[in-house]
Amino acid sequence: MADAIAASLHYLSIFVLFALLTGEHLLFKPVMELERARSLLRVDIAYGACAGLVLVTGAARVLWFGKGLDYYLHNSLFHAKVGLFILIGLLSIIPTLTFFNWRNDLLAGKAPQISPAVARRTLLVIRLELLLLVCLPFLASLMARGFGMIAP
């Protein structure tokens, strides 16, 4: 039963993570109104917290509920999946810093001013994160079927 709960929490947190990133994509505009910017900042904070939850529930599955630590450590697709998740996390720093730089404007009750270059870069990174997130379930399903095993 605990295994099913851990798996369900992991899957749910991944779905919410994808939904929050999709929300960032939909909310982000080159010309930002004050309330939209505040909402975007809140969504980004929730996205970071949810990424942490994905990591914690994934670690719990690896350590206590999945196929055993040895299985995961000897699976190249697991390493690829974790590496891809880390890459997504590193990429997410770029939009987060963009949104964090708005804090003074938001505290002053002003809409942030975004240069066209920053807007293009931020949107490109969010789209790249979404694309990479879509790759994770494919790696996970291959891994769960025994592909990627490395001889110990």
Report the predicted TM-score, pTM, of the whole model to 2 decimal places: 0.91
Question: What's the pLDDT tens digit per position in 109-136?
Answer: 999 999 999 999 999 999 999 999 999 9
Segments making up each domain of the chain, as ranges: 2-144
Coil vs helix vs strand at 149: strand
Return the closest-CA partner of residue 44 out of 14, 16, 23, 13.
Answer: 23
What confidence tens digit (pLDDT) does each residue in 8-56 have?
Answer: 999 999 999 999 999 999 999 999 999 999 999 999 999 999 999 999 9
